Structure 1
Amino acid sequence: MAQQQQPAVQLISKSDFTTQHVVPVSLPTPFPPLSPGQARIRTHTISLTTNNFTYARLGGIPYLGWWDAWPMPPCSSLPAPFNEPSTLAGYCRVLAWGYSAVVESAVPGLEVGTLLFGTQPIGTLAEVVELESIEDVDGHWREVSGRRKHLNSVYNRYIARPRDDTDREGMGWDALMNVLFQSGYMLNRSVFAWEEGVKAVHPLGDPALPWTEEDADLTGAVVVMLAASGKTGLSFAREMRARRPREKQPAKVIAVGSAKSKEFTVGTGLFDEVLLYSDLEDQAFDLEYRLKGDGRKVLLMDFGARGGAVDQWAEALEAKSKNLQALIVGGDPLGKEISKTGKQTEDPASGVAQFFAGAVRDRVIEAGGAAKYFADQETAWAEFKATRTVPGLQLKRGEGLASFSEDWNKVVKGEYGTHIGLVYGFPV
Structure 2
Amino acid sequence: MQSAATNPEMIHVVCKADNRQHAVVSIPSVDQKLPSSSLRARPVLLALTSNNLSYARGGDLLHWWKTYPVPPNAPSPYNDQSLWGIVPAWGYATVTESNVPGISPDSLIWGYWPTSTSPTLLRLEPSEPAGHWVEVSSHRQQLMPIYNRYEQVSSDEEKELDERAWTALFQGMWVAGYLLSEYVFPDPGAREPVHPLGAASKLPWSSDDADLSSAVVVVLGASTKVARSFTWCLFDWPRASGPLGLVQFTSSPGVLQEVADREGWGEVSKAFAYTEIDQATGWIEGLQPTKVVIIDCGARDNVLSQICQNLQESAPRPYKTVILHVGSQQKVYTSEEVQEARAAMQSLGKIQYNTSGIQDTIIAREGAATYFGKVSRRWKGWLADRGSAIPDMRLVWGQGIEGENGIYGGWERLSNGEVRPEEGLSGSRARPEVMCPFYGIGIPPLGANHEGGPVRATAIIAQEGEELIFAVTNLSSEPSAGAGASTGLVEGSQCRIPLN
Given the two structures, how large is their TM-score scaled by the length of structure 1? 0.89
Residue 422 of structure 2 corresponds to 419
> Match of 1:204, as an amino acid?
L
2:197–2:358 contact (8 Å) kept in structure 1: yes
Q: Structure 1: 5+ residue runs without aligned partners?
A: none
Pair 1:374-2:369 in alignment? no
Pair 1:125-2:88 in alignment? no
> Match of 2:182, as an amino acid?
R
Pair 1:58-2:58 in alignment? yes
Superposed displacement of residue 317, structure 1: 2.9
Change (3 A) 1:110 1:7: same
The worse-fitting range, judged by mean Cα deviation, of 16-25 and 144-153 is 16-25
Residue 302 of structure 2 corresponds to 308
Residue 471 of structure 2 corresponds to none
Superposed displacement of residue 37, structure 1: 0.6
> Match of 1:262, as an amino acid?
P
- Aligned equivalents of 1:401, 1:297: Cα separation in 2: 47
Given the alignment, which residue of 169, 182, 191 partners 1:189?
182
Superposed displacement of residue 267, structure 1: 3.9
Superposed displacement of residue 196, structure 1: 2.9
Given the alignment, which residue of 355, 358, 363 partners 2:356?
358
- Aligned equivalents of 2:339, 2:301: Cα separation in 1: 9
Pair 1:331-2:308 in alignment? no
Given the two structures, how large is their TM-score scaled by the length of structure 2? 0.76
2:221–2:250 contact (8 Å) kept in structure 1: yes
Secondary structure of 2:398 counterpart: strand
Residue 247 of structure 2 corresponds to 254
> Match of 2:326, as an amino acid?
V
Superposed displacement of residue 245, structure 1: 1.9
Superposed displacement of residue 184, structure 1: 0.9
Aligned length in residues: 407
Residue 12 of structure 2 corresponds to 10
- Aligned equivalents of 2:280, 2:154: Cα separation in 1: 55
1:327–1:354 contact (8 Å) kept in structure 2: yes
Residue 140 of structure 2 corresponds to 148
Residue 407 of structure 2 corresponds to 404
2:272–2:280 contact (8 Å) kept in structure 1: no
> Match of 1:182, as an amino acid?
V
Secondary structure of 2:28 counterpart: coil
Given the alignment, which residue of 96, 106, 122 partners 1:103?
96
Residue 105 of structure 2 corresponds to 112
Superposed displacement of residue 94, structure 1: 1.4
- Aligned equivalents of 1:399, 1:45: Cα separation in 2: 12
The worse-fitting range, judged by mean Cα deviation, of 37-46 and 17-26 is 17-26
1:191–1:203 contact (8 Å) kept in structure 2: yes
- Aligned equivalents of 1:7, 1:149: Cα separation in 2: 27
Superposed displacement of residue 274, structure 1: 1.6
Residue 24 of structure 1 corresponds to 26
Pair 1:79-2:75 in alignment? yes
Change (3 A) 1:353 1:318: farther
Change (3 A) 1:153 1:286: closer
Structure number with larger C-alpha Rg = 2
Superposed displacement of residue 393, structure 1: 2.2
Residue 393 of structure 1 corresponds to 393
Superposed displacement of residue 369, structure 1: 0.8
- Once the two structures are superposed, what CA deviation does each residue of 1:75-118 show, in whole Å capped at 9, x if it has no partner? xx2234435x4xx5311111100111110101111111111111
Residue 179 of structure 1 corresponds to 172
Give the structure, 1 or 2, with the largest relative contact order (CA under 8 Å, sep 6 or more): 1
Secondary structure of 1:26 counterpart: strand
Residue 68 of structure 2 corresponds to 70
- Aligned equivalents of 1:315, 1:340: Cα separation in 2: 18
Q: Structure 2: 5+ residue runs without aligned partners?
A: 1-5, 433-500
> Match of 1:276, as an amino acid?
A
- Aligned equivalents of 2:120, 2:66: Cα separation in 1: 13
2:330–2:417 contact (8 Å) kept in structure 1: no
1:396–1:423 contact (8 Å) kept in structure 2: no
- Aligned equivalents of 2:7, 2:188: Cα separation in 1: 53
- Aligned equivalents of 2:220, 2:289: Cα separation in 1: 21
- Once the two structures are superposed, what CA deviation does each residue of 1:230-252 show, in whole Å capped at 9, x if it has no partner? 0000000110011x222111121
The worse-fitting range, judged by mean Cα deviation, of 204-213 and 146-155 is 204-213
Change (3 A) 1:345 1:213: farther
The worse-fitting range, judged by mean Cα deviation, of 164-173 and 296-305 is 164-173
Residue 290 of structure 1 corresponds to 284
The worse-fitting range, judged by mean Cα deviation, of 102-111 and 227-236 is 102-111
1:311–1:339 contact (8 Å) kept in structure 2: no
- Aligned equivalents of 1:268, 1:16: Cα separation in 2: 38
Secondary structure of 2:8 counterpart: coil
Superposed displacement of residue 125, structure 1: 1.3
Superposed displacement of residue 338, structure 1: 4.0
> Match of 1:378, as an amino acid?
S
- Once the two structures are superposed, what CA deviation does each residue of 1:197-238 show, in whole Å capped at 9, x if it has no partner? 621000011351010111101114211110010000000011
2:295–2:325 contact (8 Å) kept in structure 1: yes
The worse-fitting range, judged by mean Cα deviation, of 401-410 and 161-170 is 161-170
Given the alignment, which residue of 246, 270, 273 partners 1:273?
270
Secondary structure of 1:233 counterpart: helix
Residue 206 of structure 2 corresponds to 212
Residue 384 of structure 1 corresponds to 382
> Match of 2:419, as an amino acid?
Y
RMSD: 2.2
Secondary structure of 2:223 counterpart: coil
Change (3 A) 1:293 1:252: closer
2:19–2:415 contact (8 Å) kept in structure 1: no
Superposed displacement of residue 344, structure 1: 6.0
2:330–2:414 contact (8 Å) kept in structure 1: no
Bigger share in helix: 1
- Aligned equivalents of 1:413, 1:82: Cα separation in 2: 22
- Aligned equivalents of 1:286, 1:307: Cα separation in 2: 18
